[in-house]
Amino acid sequence: MKIVGTRAPRAEGIEKLTGKAIYVDDLPLNDFLWGLTVRSTIPYGRIRSIGFDPSEDWSGVTIVTAKDVPGKNVVVLLEQDQPLLATERVMHQQEPIALLAHPDRERLWELAKKVKIDYEPWAPVLDIDASLAVAQKLFRDDNIFKSIGIDKGDVEAAFSRAARVVERTYETGLQEQAYIENQGMVATYDAAKKRLKVAGSMQCPYYVLKGLCPIVGLPPEQVEVEQAATGGAFGGKEDYPTILAAHAALLSMKSGKTVKMIYDRVEDLMATTKRHPCRTRIRTAHDADGRILALDIDATMDGGAYCTLSPVVLSRGTIHAGGPYNFENVRVRSRCVATNTPPNGAFRGFGAPQTIFAMERHMDVLASIFGEAPHRFREPYLLQAGQTTAFSQNVGEDVCIVEIQRQAVEETRFVERRRACEEFNRTSRWERRGIGLATFLHGAGFTGNGEVALDSKLKVDVTPDGIVQIFSANTEMGQGKDTTFGQIAAEAMDLPLSRVRVVTPNTQVVPNSGPTVASRTAMVVGYLVQQACKALRRSLEEHAGKTWKDEAEFASVAADYLRRRGLLEKWAQYQPPPGKVWDDKAYRGAAYGAYAWACYVAEVRVRLDTMEARVEAFDAFQEVGRVLNPVIAQGQIEGGVVQGLGYALQEEVKMRQGVMANANFTNYIIPTFADVPEVKVHFAERPYPFGPFGAKGIGELPMDGPGPAVANALSHALGVEVNRIPATPEHLMELLQGE
């Protein structure tokens, strides 16, 4: 191949480097208003009244409350339980109650303090246990947004004949997406034409469109949603931009002017969605030799005050809970509950990092109990061709996890380094060292029948000057989508990258190719790019009676076709891979068309005086089908690993009365260059026939492995079980003192 697999330069790189990229806060606007949200200051209670200080001059201020919503006052997602603006009650601190707009942003902040909301406070439900006990009914009668069950074999029979049962509980905390660019949106309503346009920082323009239309009372053809340059997302700009877009739109509709809403960092941290906290209990039944007879997993996630995307986050977490293993008897029970905290939502990995952490920690715990090396204990259970996952999917010939783990152990000298750490620890007074691994898989694309339900469509066409254009709703947010789409199209058309243009996502221009989530963009939508371009190429070659020898001849063929025959465009529509069947009721079958397989190895050092843990070395081994662009692929792995290291060691969200108390980057600590070792990235390639030139999805994969790999290394270093992350110095000290 000429272009796929090469280090092609980033399509948007020059604009970002030179500062020419237009983010939402850079959009050129005239005569606009700033918008601001007035939020709840209590976690749970009834709104008695909303007042505006009469001593203030409110002229020139646009005020919106729930009564001003022209359509439905509801955020349309999986459940219609979340009001756009609170009316009778508030369910969490930072819940939106009123909106203000004014030309002077500083004045607007002062006015917001003069909005007086009188509450009748109620006793809040702030944790999983209180929710399960139904201390208050927050959602239906049981506070459970979603519950899932998976069964394979006969778990009860296996436990009845067990010689030993091992049980542990594992916990993961909230995590903030920490994108560089805060949430932001601009809305303009043309009352004469009854047309609304919103532009902003987002992952999923069609999600925003779907959510906006019922709120503003307009049909989709009268609402335009356009993505501005987006400075990172990681799931945090999947569903939340719908709320901000609707707030800006309501202010614009009432004021008659363009309204711009940009959150500052504190508001962004306090009010927007985060990774779901999770508590997972795992029991394993063993025979007299320690062999695993059965696996029993019980997981509970905290969804926050409203459902948002919790059911699908829980779904992926549940499916990945059994790891890359073939156990004869498996039972998984999971649920996501409501609490009076800001709603949690999408975050890179989408539920899998939580349950994979539990599974991989448990495998290390078992290895320690039964006196085996971690990799040797895992290997007999690792999936092989023809075997089935916990949810009974036959992995076929795609699986290569045994080979990946063996490669990781061999190339990192895992056994030798483990012995060296143990020898060091026997003589060192002030420091401990350890090394750990995590072996895992991640499914690419929407779960089960999700891709079929999306029915994604994509279009390509050719311009009179010989440019191939890609029309897709998938967004560039720093992950390199424009570059990889360009490479796929250029390879399929046998053209240089300069002959390919990716059209800016705008719902009035591009078809709905689905959201930019779930490691689906390169694999699923990229395959549509390849298919559409192949069809385009066939039409041009049939017209010319030959293929082109260079780009100049291609431009000539394209111009002749358009002159003689008119518009040339080709569409591609998602088709599921053959033989992939998923039973959503039984939660069995082909959950994903393809998996990426991985084994990550982390070495840590812990100072015993301060209990500060530092990752000294990190190796990431993964099989990803085909690497489309080595620089982008390596960057995805490195970036995901860094986020995972923060999740493992530093990023602790402190909650006070149901809201984030450390809502800034001075005391919510994220990794810097000083905290991160060299991340060595190793790729294996086994082309997947239904991905573009064999590629699978990899964007979420690297989030899954660092947490358990680091926790396993810490456990090895300190001789205690590190079963909760983030493993802050305080937590490690508590563990050692508990011993």
CATH number for the domain including 509?
3.30.365.10
* 479 pLDDT tier (thresholds 50, 70, 90): very high
pLDDT in tens, 533-550: 999 999 999 999 999 999
Residues 238 and 205 in one domain: yes
Q: What is the DSSP string of 669-717?
A: ----GGG---EEEEEE----TTSGGG----SSHHHHSHHHHHHHHHHHH
Q: Indicate whether 420 and 476 sit together in one domain.
A: no
Given a contact cutoff of 8 angstroms between Cβ atoms, the answer to whether 475 and 481 are in contact is: yes
* Domain presence at residue 284: yes
Residues 615 and 711 in one domain: yes
Is the pLDDT confidence value at 354 over 90? yes
Distances, alpha carbon 295 to alpha carbons 164, 557, 584, 705, in Å: 13, 62, 22, 21
* Together in a domain, 84 and 201: yes
Statement: residue 423 has pLDDT above 60: yes
CATH number at residue 187: 3.90.1170.50
Residue ending a domain, among 553, 573, 593, is 573
- Label residue 739 by pLDDT band (50, 70, 90): low
Residues 679 and 537 in one domain: no
380 part of a folded domain? yes
Same domain assignment for residues 285 and 326: yes
Is there a contact between 501 and 466 (Cβ–Cβ < 8 Å)? no
Give me the pLDDT at residue 457, please: 98
Per-residue pLDDT tens for 16-52? 999 999 999 999 999 999 999 999 999 999 999 999 9
Encode pLDDT of 224-236 as tens digits.
999 999 999 999 9
**CA dihedral sign, ordered 615, 313, 152, 688:** negative
pLDDT (mean) for 259-282:
98
pTM exceeding the 0.85 threshold for the entire prediction: yes
Shared-domain flag, residues 443 and 460: no
Residue 574 pLDDT greater than 80, yes or no:
yes
pLDDT value at residue 379: 98
**Domain shared by 553 and 590, yes or no:** no
The label of the residue with tokens 């992350």 reads: 725
In a domain, 4, yes or no: no
Q: Is 40 left (phi over 0), alpha (psi -120 to 50) or beta?
A: beta
What distance in Å separates the CA atoms of residue 633 and residue 505, rounded to the nearest whole number? 23
Note the pLDDT of residue 706.
Answer: 98
Tokens of 590: 């082909």
Residue 738's pLDDT is what?
83
Same domain for 361 and 236, yes or no, is no
Do 600 and 636 share a structural domain?
A: yes
- How far apart are the C-alpha atoms of 518 and 235, rounded to whole Å? 9
Residue 162 forms part of a structural domain: no
Binned at pLDDT 50, 70 and 90, residue 518 comes out as: very high
Average pLDDT, stretch 123-144? 98
- Give pLDDT, residue 687: 97
Residue 133: inside a domain: no
Identify whether the C-beta of residue 197 lies closer than 8 Å to the C-beta of residue 258: no
Classify residue 593: in a domain, yes or no: yes
Q: Is residue 164 part of a domain?
A: no
Once rounded to an integer, what is the mean pLDDT over residues 182-202? 98
Asked whether the predicted pLDDT for residue 188 surpasses 60, the reply is: yes
pLDDT of 275: 98
- Specify the length of the chain in residues: 739
Residue 147, in any domain of the structure: no
CA 681: distance to chain centroid?
21
Owning domain of residue 464 = 13-21+456-573
The last residue of one of the domains, among 532, 553, 573, is: 573
User: 283 and 337 share a domain?
Assistant: yes
Mean pLDDT calculated for residue range 131-143: 97
Domain boundary among 216, 234, 262: 262
What pLDDT is stored for residue 111 in this prediction?
A: 96
Mean pLDDT, residues 453-469 taken together: 97
Total domains present in the chain: 3
| Average confidence score pLDDT of the chain | 97
Q: Do both 434 and 468 map to the same domain? A: no
Q: Tokens 């009010």: give the residue.
A: 271
42-93 confidence digits (pLDDT tens): 999 999 999 999 999 999 999 999 999 999 999 999 999 999 999 999 999 9
Q: Which residues of 600-616 are buried (b: 16+ CB within 10 A; e: fewer)?
A: bbbbbbbeeeebebebe
